[in-house]
Amino acid sequence: MINPIEVNNINQNIHQNRRILITGGAGFIGSNFVHHWDNTHPQSRIVVLDALTYAGNLQNLASLQGKENFRFVKGDIGDRSLIDQLLTEEKIDTIAHFAAESHVDRSILGPDAFIHTNVVGTFTLLESFRQHWLSQDKPENYRFLHVSTDEVYGSLELDDPAFTETTPYAPNSPYSASKAGSDHLARAYYHTYKLPTIITNCSNNYGPYHFPEKLIPLMCINMLLGKPLPVYGDGQNIRDWLYVEDHCQALELVIHQGKTGETYNIGGNNEVKNIDLVKILCQLMDDLADEFGEKLPVKPCEELITFVKDRPGHDRRYAINSTKIQTELGWKPKQTLQSGLKKTIEWYLNHRDWWQPLLSEEYLKYYQKVYNL
């Protein structure tokens, strides 16, 4: 008879040796997850599939290039023959699916790409993985982790309770609607075919490698450039912020210990109004820039705050209840909002060479269009 310690070791072996396909691994959360997985699973085979859209950046993975356990493939998750080939050739047993069009403002200007990638692309991956799983006789340890957002639940009033896993879906933007569609597909593949899918819905992330079109990296960079800090509408919208490494840790736990067919909400329990968040960032930047010997063009940074036209259909409040993942899987975020934001600002202060090349002419044109600046 195998004793429990041996069983535990066997499970650990299976887990350590996963052959994982990470889609969208050159983007913000995906690349943080690739580094996290590589650090925590050095025996694992890691294959990244990324189309390298404007949001994908090979610099995010530079330190992994040339490593034997790592392979990068440029390609579209909607390319069925490429996916079929990769799953077979690399003997993939786990997919961590991050690839997506992810920016709400872009989804308002042009929703087409959101349907192509988030809905059709996710369907293509699920269908290819299902055939692969069937061809291997439905191995028990296969996993399809579908990484999603709290935005599928819609918008909360100030006194509403936070989103739980049973909150009805009510997406309000083309982005959240396309993510909701992909969540439903991942759920249906479990219920219909018993494909081992798990869905996670997470709140707003922030941290290193965050493309400067989202609130926090945009504010950090604009403070360093002395440009306006555009706050939409009255600045009273509330988001629930989570440091990206805490998200990656939660996802790792879900892959290893999550129950297939389940959904887990992940959030930082850090609800803040946008205007208050921007003021915290300003204060931290004023203090840290001195420490880094950086001379800010405008100081105090708060002088740069500029209220701009609101986003159409702007969701008022998101808040996540993560009791399920905390009690069932024992996950807890390590960073507080203050410590996470400090780390993030330090990263942007230290990585001008990462963000400077992103400020292309095309990006600046887009930026002006969105902000009417």
Least distance CB 242 / ligand NAD (angstroms): 8
209: left (phi over 0), alpha (psi -120 to 50) or beta: left
Question: In the complex, what is the shortest distance from the CB of residue 282 to ligand NAD, in angstroms, rounded to a whole number?
Answer: 21
> Which residues, in sequence order, are CB contacts of 274 under 8 Å at separation 6+?
215, 231, 232, 235, 236, 237, 238, 239
Exposure of 225 by Cβ count < 10 A (0-12 exposed, 13-18 middle, 19+ buried)?
Answer: middle
* Residue 179 binds: one of ligand NAD, ligand TYD, none (C-beta under 5 to 8 A by kind): ligand NAD
Site residues (CB under 6 A) for ligand NAD, limited to 13-72: 23-24, 26-30, 50-53, 55-56
**Contacted by 36, from ligand TYD, ligand NAD, none: CB < 5 to 8 Å by type:** none
Q: Which two tokens stand for residue 267?
A: 């959030």
Q: Which is nearer to ligand NAD, 28 or 189 (CB)?
A: 28
Partner whose binding site includes residue 274, from ligand TYD, ligand NAD, none (CB under 5 to 8 Å by kind): ligand TYD
- What minimum distance in Å lies between the beta carbon of 43 and ligand NAD? 25
64/287 Cα distance (integer angstroms)? 33
CB of 204 to ligand TYD, least distance (A): 5
- Using CB distances below 5 to 8 A depending on partner kind, what does residue 76 bind out of ligand TYD, ligand NAD, none? ligand NAD
Q: Does residue number 102 form part of the binding site for ligand NAD (CB under 6 A)?
A: yes
Q: Which residue is nearest to ligand NAD (CB)?
A: 27
Under a CB-based contact definition with an 8 Å cutoff, are residues 242 and 202 in contact?
Answer: yes
The answer to whether the bond into 139 is cis (omega within 30° of 0) is: no
**Binders in 113-172 for ligand NAD, by CB under 6 A:** 117, 121, 147-149
The tokens describing 210, both together, are 């965050």
Q: Which residues are catalytic?
A: 150-151, 175
Residue 64 to residues 25, 29, 211, 252, 331: CA-CA distances in angstroms? Answer: 12, 16, 20, 19, 27
Q: Tell me: does residue 212 bind ligand NAD (CB under 6 A).
A: no
Sequence letter at residue 339:
S
Smallest gap from residue 73 Cβ to ligand NAD (A): 10
Tokens representing 113 are 């790409």
> Cα–Cα distance between 266 and 148 in angstroms, integer?
10
Nearest distance from residue 239's CB to ligand TYD, in Å? 5
Q: How do strand 271-273 and strand 238-243 relate by DSSP bridges? A: antiparallel
Contact string 228-267 vs ligand NAD (x = CB under 6 A)? ----------------------------------------
Binders of ligand NAD: how many residues, by CB under 6 A?
31
Site residues (CB under 6 A) for ligand NAD, limited to 171-190? 179
Binding site for ligand TYD (CB under 6 A): 104, 204, 214-215, 218, 230-232, 237, 239, 274, 311
Distances (CA, A) of 348 to 223, 246, 248, 325: 11, 19, 20, 31
User: Which residue number, 174 or 289, has a Cβ lying nearer to ligand NAD?
Assistant: 174
Look at strands 204-206 and 70-74 and give their pairing.
Answer: unpaired
- What is the C-alpha separation between 281 and 302, in angstroms, rounded? 9
Helix (H) or strand (E) holding 243: strand 238-243
Three-state SS for 241? strand
SS3 93: coil
Q: How far apart are CA 234 and CA 301, in angstroms?
A: 19
Least separation in angstroms between CB 231 and ligand TYD: 5
230 binds, among ligand NAD, ligand TYD, none (CB under 5 to 8 A by kind): ligand TYD
Question: Which C-beta is closer to ligand NAD: that of 52 or that of 364?
Answer: 52
Q: Check binding of 76 to ligand NAD (CB under 6 A).
A: yes
Nearer to ligand NAD, 26 or 92 (CB): 26
Q: Which positions lie near ligand NAD, rule CB under 6 A?
A: 23-24, 26-30, 50-53, 55-56, 76-78, 98-102, 117, 121, 147-149, 179, 202, 204-205, 211
